[in-house]
A and B are shown apart, each in its own frame.
Chain A
C-alpha cells in the first residue's frame, strides 16, 4: 500500500507541476482559473490518497471543504471575467 500511494503521490505531483505551468503562463485569466481549479482537484485527490495510505477518515472533511471552496472561487472569478473581460 505504501508503494502504491507513493506512486500515486508521484503522479499527482506531475499533474500539479503541469497545472502550475499553465497557472504561470496563462495567457488569460480564464486559463489561470481552469488551472487553479485543477490544482484544487489534485489537492482533494491527495487528501484521498492520504486516507487510503493511513486507513483513517480524518482527511475526508478536508476533501469536502477544499472541493466546495474551489467551486466558489471558480464561480466568483467567472463573474469577474463577465464584467471586466479575460
Chain B
C-alpha cells in the first residue's frame, strides 16, 4: 500500500466512526433539537472525510468535481434541512425536553 492508500484507509475509518457517533447521539440525546444537532454535525464531517478518501483513490478529474459537488451539497442542505425541521418542530410545540434550562425563543416571542 502506498502513502495515499494509507491516508485514505485512515480517513475512511475515521469518517465512518464520526458517522457512528452521530447515530449514538441520535439515540442517546433527550429531545428532537438535541438529536438533530447530533445528526447533522458529526456525520457531515464524517462524509467530508469519506469523500476526501475517495478523492485520493479515484483517478478521473471529473470524479473529483462530482466529489466536490457532494461536499458542497451536504454543507448547504444539512443545516438548511435541520433548520426547517427545527422550526417546524418548535412551532408544533411540546417537543422540548423537560431538562431544558433556557428557551430564549419563547422569551423573544413574549416580548
- Give the B-binding residues of A (Cβ under 8 A): 1, 3-5, 7-12, 14-19, 21-22, 28, 30-31, 33-35, 37-38, 41-42, 44-45, 48-49, 51-52, 55-57, 60-61, 63-64, 67-68, 70-71, 74-75, 77-79, 81-82, 85-86
Contacts and interface: CB of A to CB of B under 8 A. Distances in A.
B35 A34 contact: yes
B20 to A, nearest CB: 4
Q: Secondary structure at chain A's binding surface: helix, strand, loop or mixed? A: helix
17 contacts: A1-B8, A8-B50, A12-B19, A15-B24, A28-B95, A31-B32, A41-B22, A42-B19, A48-B50, A52-B53, A57-B58, A63-B51, A63-B66, A64-B70, A67-B77, A75-B80, A79-B88
A75 to B, nearest CB: 6
Contacts, number: 194
Given A11-B13, A18-B23, A22-B27, A60 B54 contact: yes
